Amino acid sequence: MTHTNIAVIGGGSWATAIVKLLLNNVEKVHWFMRNKDAIDSIKKFGHNPHYLGSIYFDANKLYLSDDLKDVISRADYVILAIPAAFISEALKGITAADFKNKIVFSAIKGIVPENNLIMGDYLKNYFEIPYENIGVIAGPCHAEEVALEKLSYLTMACPDIEKATLMAKLFSCRYLKASVSDDIFGTEYAAVLKNVFALASGISIGLGYGDNYRAVLISCAIQEIERFVQKVHPISRDINSAAYLGDLLVTAYSQFSRNRAFGIMIGKGYSVKYAQIEMNMVAEGYYAAKCIHEINKIYQVDMPITDAVYNILYEKIAPGIEMQILSDKLS
């Protein structure tokens, strides 16, 4: 067990799975949750009442609090696991001074919609955290399989490889293998885009397209990711490695993918609002489609799948019509 002081910010399924993983290697996790009832439930019964209820926590190994400043102050490493659409509200009242000398890893797979920034740039611009103290936790990994202790993989990305390596050690256990990378920009943009493509995959399912079509869709999607990340941050990277292609595959095909599930409902004719209510969870790809569309006005990368998802969600073009147009562009 290590004495590293580490905090997890968030109360959802991914935050819950992260705490489970960390407790294999650290003596205590400082855990911020906004929901006081959830905190009380974990303290009393050892379970998060809203997410991944099969996970049992020894409350003695947790410092649970709804005081965000307090939780951050106790940690050297802070892990953010809040949907990007809500991160600005969640961090309201937190200043650059609160994050001074902290190492912050983002487990967020989205873009901050108010300013179209990935988390690395958001943390740098708004909290003055140097890039060498910013990391990304990339997949491929679903929280539900972590809860079931099925063999899973993560990639820890940070410009400072020593910090990425430490984080990888903190997460590694019998059923989780973690590797390291220095590509925080590529892994983060890839994580954002794979949610958009999982939405496209789900839409195709809802419309009745088959596996043959999805095979082409996803093979074109990884090319789209490569074109975009290479334009935004041109470095040498293997786009076919787990953090990029692997994360795309699991999100596009897994039964646990909320973006895929959201897309299925859209393909079946559900409105965006109704699908959001029905899921009762955040599908990051919904927000990401608009953010990437706006960002790409600058870079002008050929992104037919992203454009199709944007047109369906925001321009209200019928999914059947837009997917038919897209099918003629795929090869």
DSSP state of 132: G
CA angle 214, 327, 296 (to 5 degrees): 90
How far apart CA 196 and CA 191 sit, in angstroms, is 9
Q: What is the dihedral of CA 197, 303, 87, 237, to 10 degrees?
A: 90
Q: In whole angstroms, how far apart are CA 165 and each of 13, 42, 158, 244?
A: 24, 30, 9, 19
Q: Is the dihedral of CA 109, 254, 225, 259 positive or negative?
A: negative
Q: Which position among 20, 43, 194, 290 bears the catalytic label? A: 194
SS (H, E, C) 165-213: HHHHHHHCECCEEEEEECCHHHHHHHHHHHHHHHHHHHHHHHHCCCHHH
CA distance 182 to 105: 13
Q: Where are the alpha helices (DSSP H) in the chain?
A: 13-22, 36-45, 68-73, 87-90, 119-127, 143-147, 161-171, 184-207, 211-232, 247-253, 258-267, 272-279, 284-299, 304-314, 319-327
Hey, what amino acid is at 221? A
Structure tokens at 292: 């990437």
Residue 59: what residue type?
A: A
| 3-class SS of residue 62 | strand
Structure tokens at 89: 């509200």
Local structure of residue 86 (DSSP, 8 states) = G
268 in active site? no
Active centre residues (catalytic): 194
